[in-house]
Amino acid sequence: MSEAPLNVYLCISPDVKVGNNVKFSKFVNLYGCEVGDDTKIGAFVEIQKNAKVGKRCKISSHTFICEGVTIEDEVFVGHNVTFVNDTFPRSTTAAGALQTEADWKVETTLVRKGASIGSGATILANVVIGEHALIGAGAVVTKDVPAHAVVAGNPGRVVRYIESRGQQ
């Protein structure tokens, strides 16, 4: 039995801006987004319209990057990380009709250069994760994270700071 070509398992719409040397695993879904040079996108990742992923990032499998998220260069995103872009989600309007894009405003999130987000973390809307910050596995980030901070727990709290990439 012959193996299907890789692109059979990719759903990348024509409006996606893909940098040079981007590596895709199977079963990714990208539309209306940007992915920078030398970035790796794992299996079962979805990146929605108007989201941006920088250069030399690693986006691990089963991650959801919604509209309004900007990830700068050299960011690590662990497995099964979820970003949120609505702090008061509803399926219907006050009149009971299903909501459309016109009924809500995208709320943004910014992940600064060199940050790392552990597996299973949830990043709520309207936060900035500072440069080289480290978000622990399973953390729920509800507010801004300072540069070089290590955040853990639910809700996420700063537990310490790291001075440089190599310091633990």
Contact (CB, 8 A) for 85 and 125: yes
Cβ-in-10-Å burial (0-12, 13-18, 19+) of 25 comes to middle
148 catalytic? Reply is: no
Indicate the SS3 state at residue 27.
coil
d(CA 7, CA 4): 8
d(CA 155, CA 122): 10
Provide the 8-state DSSP code for 133: -
Overall residue count recorded for the chain in this entry: 168
Active site residues: 62
